[in-house]
Structure 1
Amino acid sequence: MKRATAIGLGVVAAVAVAPAGAAKPQAWATVNICDTPGHPNQMGVRANMPGNGKRQKMYMRFRAQFFSADGKWEDVKGPGLSRWIYAGSARLANRQAGYTFSFSPPSRSTRFVLRGLVAFEYREKKKGERERVVRRFRKNTKGGYPLARGGDPPGYSNGVCEIRP
């Protein structure tokens, strides 16, 4: 795991404001790419962040974690953490953003079991003040989000990713 490298794909998609009476968008995180022929030794993490209608900015930060031999989730060191990615205005109903992590191939007798952890922040800046965080929370990746954009294959959504030699 120490030789992991990351490629950031801070792709962000906007979603229009939801009509009144529509279901309230929820925050989620999912693995949308996992060691495919088009993305060998890579894990893509995609997340959705609901807007709140306020004059705030939404940010996400993506972290890769691996399942250790002791049966615990641990952070991938080095490039297993993205920069903070601006997802858009909180005035919109919701926004998606994603990040793709690349790993050195595992040895023949090893496999990597990975997941993502996404940190979400709402930030605001009042006149004459610095930008400040007004709300933060985290979500682990889970499956079952077929509307996650950028999947390989399209519509792919899972909670974990297993990279094999």
Structure 2
Amino acid sequence: MTQANESGQAPQRGLATRRIMEMAVAAMVGALAALAIWDNHRIGAGWSDDGPQAGYFPMWIGIIVLACCVVNFVQAWRQGERTAFVTGGQLRQVFVVLAPLVVYVALIGPLGIYVSSALFLAGFMIAVGRFAWWKSVLFSAALLAAFFWVFELQFRVSLPKGPLEAALGF
């Protein structure tokens, strides 16, 4: 028989345990740290006549990060916490944000950052915020026009542009 949690509902089964996820993250970050150590050693991580070489400090930071990853991996292994890391419902909430974000980043190249950002913002306002489509489109267009004015015209910071900006002469 399944016991109810504090809200009176049966607990949801997790997709992975916290132990597995902590070990996986420690292994992935440790692999990146090992890559940083190797690469910085390759470019020179010693001490030369005029001081430290280019890879000296980054290599030592990589060594510290790798040591911390080993400690975290061993702690996760020994404690063996088997609570759920994430449930199906929680993972769906993550993908509600992650999927449109991936599309947004993919559209920056062909459409430019301003049009992509306006579409992303309007889409979120409609899908997640449940705003009327016309309010979402109007607000996102006005906000991104303001951003364009600030970055491109006032600060003279050139951000990725697409066909719309090219048609307008920018």
TM > 0.5: no
The structure with more strand, counted as a fraction of residues:
1
The structure with more helix, counted as a fraction of residues:
2
For the superposition of Structure 1 and Structure 2, which TM-score range results when normalised by the shorter chain? under 0.3
TM-score (norm 1): 0.19
TM-score (norm 2): 0.18
Q: Which has the larger radius of gyration?
A: 2
